[in-house]
Amino acid sequence: MKTLAVMNEKGGVGKTNIVAHAGWYFAEQFRTLTIDLDQQANLTTTLGAHVSRTSSVDLFSEVTKVEPVGPLTVARSTRELLGIEGVDRAVIETFRDSLASMADDYDICIIDTPPALTNRTFGALLAADAVIAPIGMNDYSLQGVAELLRAIKGVAKYYNRPEPRFLGLLPSIFDRKSRRERDLFESLAEQLGQILFPGIVAKRDVYSRSAGEGQPVWNMKGAAARDAGNEIRGVFETVAAKMELGA
């Protein structure tokens, strides 16, 4: 099993949208597990048709496997996740060990994280083979990125393990019609080209419909949905190649 953590301290940058679509996409080919670590439970709601009996909080308390429900399985979020914060850091290692115990049960695991650097996000970092950071095209969204990169290094160093691969910053609600966003994107590409993911997810109304209907954009009708589907599937193709999935 290969594990991807989707992470950004900033809220509302499209993390959950990416995880939901990654779940639908990878489940076409792979035994796919998604883990909802955000007590807001947006992922659990969107992927409601695929929810396991196992709660994500259980993975922190003792070594636990998530019972698969089909090609796509969600370890669901509960408010009890808040209890993970402010307790002993040992829970982070238990979470890592829970994921390790499922190494042969799933091919890929994608973790949705809350918008904060907390025990839960550190657990995700400790378990991850790769990390991707969705970003909004605005200055605020970028401010947390240095902190995230420091956390990736810090967790690896503290636990004396190799760093997860950083797949890059992914503009994930990119409004191409906005001159300001296009300009910011250009300057980002110039300054941070090497840590920018080679792909984007454009801002499109069809994504809120997708969340409401619990369906990926590529299953929805209309030209906008088709364009969105091709675009976001291209992002996951690149992710799969970078993570050497199926290799």
Q: Does residue 38 interact with ligand ATP by CB under 6 A?
A: yes
Site for ligand ATP (CB under 6 A): which residue of 173, 217, 235, 245? 173
Q: Does 119 sit near ligand ATP (CB under 6 A)?
A: no
Binding of ligand ATP at residue 120 (CB under 6 A)? no
Stretch that binds Mg ion, among 38-46, 61-69, 101-109, 216-224 (CB under 5 A): 38-46
Closer by beta carbon to ligand ATP, 42 or else 78: 42
- Is 35 one of the binding residues for ligand ATP (CB under 6 A)? no
- Helix/strand/coil (H, E, C) string of the chain? CEEEEECCCCCCCCHHHHHHHHHHHHCCCCCEEEEECCCCCHHHHHCHHHEEEEECCHHHHCCCCCCCCCCEEEEECCHHHHHHCCCCCHHHHHHHHHHHHCCCCCCEEEEECCCCCCHHHHHHHHHCCEEEEEECCCHHHHHCHHHHHHHHHHHHHHCCCCCCEEEEEEECCECCCCHHHHHHHHHHHHHHHHHECCCCCECCCHHHHHHHHCCCHHHCCCHHHHHHHHHHHHHHHHHHHHCCCCC
Quote the least distance from Cβ 163 to ligand ATP, whole Å. 23
Residue 207 in the binding site for ligand ATP (CB under 6 A): yes
In the complex, minimum distance from the CB of residue 176 to Mg ion, in angstroms, rounded to a whole number: 23
- At its nearest, how many Å lie between ligand ATP and the CB of residue 161? 26
Q: Which residues bind Mg ion (CB under 5 A)?
A: 15-16, 42
Instruction: Give the footprint of ligand ATP on this chain (CB under 6 A).
Output: 11-17, 38, 40, 42, 115, 172-173, 201, 203-204, 207-208, 211
